[in-house]
Amino acid sequence: MPLATPPFSVLSDEFDAAPHHFYAQLRERAPVHYEPAIDSWFVSRHEDVKRVLTDHDAFTTEMFQVRAEPVMRGRVLAQMTGAEHTAKRKIVVRGFTGAALQAQVRAIRTNAAELLATFLPRGRMDLVGDFGKPFAVHVALDALGLDRADWQQVAEWHSGVAEFVTSLTLTPERRRHCLDCAEQLEAYLAPVIERRRRDPGEDLISELCTAEFDGVAMSDRDVTALILNVLIAAAEPADKTLALLFRHLIDHPEQLAQVRRDPDLLGAAIAETLRFTPPVQLIPRQAEEDTVLAGTTVPAGAAVFCMIGAANRDPEAFTAPDTFDIHRADLGTARSFTAAAQHLAFGTGLHQCVGAAFARAEIETVAAMLLPLLDEVRYSPGFRYRETGLYTRGPVALSLDFTPVHGTGTWRD
Ligand code: HEM
């Protein structure tokens, strides 16, 4: 498919249907592609994406003031720099690593077991709709210390907020809907914050309510924004990664058999899934000054989108990049979830994902529960695979058939 006939657009249906078909041409022929309809630049080479995400003076996170703040009800971590960013990021990191992480892994197992109990005996489930989406929201609510019983309502508001943050174009009606969702979510959180201030527990919301920055406690607005920041950041990519992992393993039966035999390979399978099909496809930045990237001048003030999917398949960064291979030597499982990662699925630089270790634990835990049970796992008859999303991207559904499973009581031990 030639890039130039008719003028190529990342907003076209063709690109939406299969973005990876265009990555090589973009990197080779239009590595800094201008999209007039939304007055934005799209950067696709690994080297350039890395530069945009690590040159914090030339490329800022200014645009989150309009892309995120209206629905986050305040400033999110991505907007912060310096001592404020370090201090507030540390609080969030503490909630998702060390002892907190150990406790959360237990909660992850319980959540997964409860949700799976309905579907395993049936021998059929949609890994996205039946399991992944509710599971990702349950886990995020648990980590924050919110009531899991409210998950459906929270999930609805959450999807409105996420739509606002991840849309490249939004009609006035959708914009209003997203803002309504954010206002309702804020109203839902207000009494929770008030209670945690009076009677703090061990959860992340309590930590945020009692922490001080520069000797001053965070305002309700600050706390609300960070809760929404974590809720959206944690839930949005998790179910997509899980479904993509199963998709790739089912499409590569030898690798599926290897992972079933040796669950220690799961970390590598998750890392390769994130490289091959990163669920967060775009990371936005704003050019602070006129900057030359791959020979093109990006003007001061311009919106720049880093194309993570294209960068992760750059042959300058990975050998045979279009091949899904959990054994690839140039990935490195352990470093794939750290600041030293070669793939860019978690971003890089100052704002690299704080939840990478947690995401690995979450997906590894669930996949390790599921894989040994799903004998003869395959797509359900008539199922047609389809992905959606330009900014975050994942399967619409993943309808699986497998040998029905009875009696998994040991999970709750
Ligand atoms: C596979 C799952 C995940 C993926 C692919 C992912 C991806 C990303 C990416 C690409 C960024 C960088 C955004 C930027 O530079 O503007 C990011 C930031 C962030 N992520 Fe994740 N994420 C995942 C899971 C999580 C989880 C489970 C949490 C829960 C704690 C989380 C919390 C955050 C936060 C708070 C930030 C902002 C960090 C900052 O600005 O300093 N993420 N994530």
pLDDT tens digits for range 395-406: 999 999 999 998
What pLDDT band is residue 28 in, cutting at 50, 70 and 90? very high
pLDDT, position 98:
86
Q: Tens digits of per-residue pLDDT, 89-99?
A: 999 998 888 88
Pocket test for ligand 1, best of 101, 241, 353 (most atoms within 8 A of CB): 353
What confidence score (pLDDT) does residue 275 get? 98
And the tokens for 347? 């971003």
* pLDDT of 253 above 50: yes
Q: Has residue 2 got a pLDDT over 50?
A: no
276-289 tens-digit pLDDT? 999 999 999 999 99
Condensed to tens digits (0 to 9), the pLDDT of residues 174-208 reads 999 999 999 999 999 999 999 999 999 988 999 99
Q: Whose CA is nearest to atom 15 of ligand 1?
A: 351
CA of 373 to the centre of ligand 1 (A): 30
Q: Which domain holds residue 279?
A: 13-412
What confidence score (pLDDT) does residue 177 get? 97
**CA 362 to CA 329: how far, in whole Å?**
24
Q: What percent of the chain has pLDDT over 90?
A: 86
- Bridge partners (DSSP) of residue 303 are 40, 286
36: three-class secondary structure by DSSP:
helix
Ligand 1, CB within 6 Å, residue ranges: 77-78, 89, 92, 96, 229-230, 233-234, 237-238, 241, 279-280, 283, 345-347, 351, 353-355, 358-359
Residue 8 is assigned to a structural domain of this protein: no
Mean pLDDT of all residues in 361-382: 95
pLDDT at 351: 96
CATH number at residue 393: 1.10.630.10
**Residue 115: is its pLDDT beyond 50?**
yes
pLDDT tier for residue 13 given thresholds of 50, 70 and 90:
very high
Tell me how far the alpha carbon of residue 409 lies from the centroid of ligand 1, in angstroms: 34
Predicted confidence at residue 410, as pLDDT, reads: 56
Distance CA 41, CA 150 (A): 40
Q: Tell me which residue has its CA closest to atom 9 in ligand 1.
A: 346
Which residue's alpha carbon is nearest to atom 31 within ligand 1? 355
Per-residue confidence band for 6, with pLDDT thresholds at 50, 70 and 90: low
pLDDT in the model for residue 412: 45
Residue 210 lies in a domain: yes
In a domain, 5, yes or no: no
Cα 354 to ligand 1 centroid, rounded to whole Å? 6
Q: Residue 320: pLDDT above 70?
A: yes
Q: What is the dihedral of CA 65, 67, 72, 76, to 10 degrees?
A: -60
Number of domains present in the structure of the chain: 1
Count CB-CB contacts under 10 A for residue 262.
9
Residue 1 lies in a domain: no
Please tell me the predicted confidence (pLDDT) of residue 217.
Answer: 86
| pLDDT value at 1 more than 60 | no
| 7 is a domain residue | no
CA 235–ligand 1 middle distance (angstroms): 10
- Per-residue confidence (pLDDT) for residue 407, from 0 to 100: 75
High-pLDDT (> 70) share of the chain, %: 97
User: Is the pLDDT score of 46 beyond 80?
Assistant: yes
pLDDT band of residue 60 (cuts 50, 70, 90) is very high
In a domain, 3, yes or no: no
Give the ligand 1 atom nearest the CA of 348.
Answer: 15
Residue 264, Cβ neighbours under 10 Å: how many? Answer: 11
Q: pLDDT tens for residues 141-156? A: 998 999 999 999 999 9
Residues 6+ apart with CB under 8 A from 167: 174, 391
- Give the nearest ligand 1 atom to 363 CA: 1
Determine the distance separating the centroid of ligand 1 and the alpha carbon of 353, expressed in angstroms.
3
pLDDT value of residue 119? 94
Give the helix ranges, DSSP H, for 312-378: 356-370
Identify the bridge partners of residue 387 per DSSP, sorted by sequence position: 395
The pLDDT of residue 409 = 57
Nearest to 259 by CA among 118, 372, 129: 372
Query: Could you tell me if residue 393 is inside a domain?
Result: yes
On the question of pLDDT at 81 being above 60, the answer is: yes
The contacts of residue 154 (CB under 8 Å, 6+ apart) are: 137, 141, 146, 185, 188, 231
| Closest ligand 1 atom, residue 279 Cα | 5
Confidence of residue 137 (pLDDT cuts 50, 70, 90): very high
Give residue 220's pLDDT: 93
State in Å: Cα 61 to ligand 1 middle: 14
Strand, helix or coil at 19? coil
Please answer whether residues 378 and 97 qualify as being in contact, where contact means their C-beta atoms are separated by less than 8 angstroms: no
For ligand 1, the distance from its centroid to the CA atom of residue 351, given in whole angstroms, is 8
In a domain, 180, yes or no: yes
Mean pLDDT of the chain: 93
Nearest CA owner, ligand 1 atom 35? 230
State the distance from the centre of ligand 1 to the C-alpha of 378, rounded, in angstroms.
31
Beta strands in 315-388, from DSSP E residues, in sequence order: 378-379, 387-388
Index of the ligand 1 atom closest to the CA of residue 229: 35
**Distance from CA of residue 212 to its chain's centroid?**
28
Q: Is the pLDDT of residue 5 over 60?
A: no
Q: Largest Cα–Cα distance in the chain? A: 63
For position 3, what pLDDT does the model report?
Answer: 59
Distance between Cα 399 and ligand 1 center (Å): 27
pLDDT average, residue stretch 16-44: 96
- Position 411 confidence tier, pLDDT thresholds 50, 70, 90: low
